[in-house]
Amino acid sequence: MRILGRAVVLIILVCMIFGGGCAKKKVAPIGGEVVPPPPIQYPQPQTPASPMTPLPMDMPQIQGGPLGTVPMVAPGLEDEVKTFEQNDVYFDFDQYTLTPEARKTISRKASFLKVHPELTVIIEGHCDERGTTEYNLALGERRAMSVRDHLRLLGVDVARITTISYGKERPAVQGHNEEAWAKNRRAHFDIVGG
């Protein structure tokens, strides 16, 4: 009796192990063919709810805005925004402290942002090609934060400001000399809403 009980348990275990992983065969209904299951319906991508919805990070840079954003500016403000974005803040070699000229540029930007409280801005920190990638990413972040902190001191709400560092990855000017390096050590501004 014990042997028979063990044999039954063993047979059940073997059936569970080998039978559980097998796919079920479709049995044709009487008098008909096997009907395949309906195709899987995948949800269609939706259009962004607003023009400020971030795009995937692998999307190329959109003209007039930073990677991953869609700029939206009120009609009639495009020229002012273009001027705002074209005036970068420059830094000395291996520095993130603001020069007197940088403070003047930031002051003009703060005035513009205070007149247009509907606008938000991304400050990008950039470096020249010298130094390691990691070092330049950290230095670029310090540069962007330095500009953001000065804007805050001038009365701009930091909730309207985002910072990002690109280090040496996005040079404004190609070249391996001081003239090119000086133009790449910068904080760049992009308006991303309004």
Establish if 146 belongs to a structural domain: yes
The torsion angles phi and psi of 116, rounded to 5 degrees, stand at -120, 75
Residue 130: CB atoms within 10 Å: 14
In this predicted structure, the answer to whether residue 91 has a pLDDT above a threshold of 90 is: yes
DSSP category for residue 148? H
Burial class (CB in 10 A: 0-12, 13-18, 19+), 64: middle
Establish if 41 belongs to a structural domain: no
Establish if 132 belongs to a structural domain: yes
Establish if 5 belongs to a structural domain: no
Q: What is the pLDDT of residues 137-170, one digit of tens each?
A: 999 999 999 999 999 999 999 999 999 999 999 9
**Domain with 128 in it:** 78-193
- Overall pTM > 0.75: no
Residue 183 belongs to a domain with what CATH number? 3.30.1330.60
Q: Residue 5: helix, strand or coil by DSSP?
A: helix
Establish if 65 belongs to a structural domain: no
Establish if 61 belongs to a structural domain: no
CA separation for the pair 22, 48 (Å, rounded): 44
Q: Which of 136, 132, 134 is nearest to 185 (CA)?
A: 136
* Count of domains for the chain: 1
In this predicted structure, the answer to whether residue 64 has a pLDDT above a threshold of 50 is: no
CA separation for the pair 79, 47 (Å, rounded): 28
Q: What's the pLDDT score for residue 143?
A: 97
Q: What is the pLDDT of residues 33-44, one digit of tens each?
A: 555 556 655 555
Q: What's the pLDDT score for residue 16?
A: 62
Which two structure tokens, joined as six digits, stand for 3? 């042997």
CA separation for the pair 17, 1 (Å, rounded): 24
Q: What percent of the chain has pLDDT over 90?
A: 55
Establish if 133 belongs to a structural domain: yes
Establish if 121 belongs to a structural domain: yes
Under a CB-based contact definition with an 8 Å cutoff, are residues 190 and 109 in contact? no
- Sign (positive or negative) of CA dihedral 56, 60, 64, 67: positive
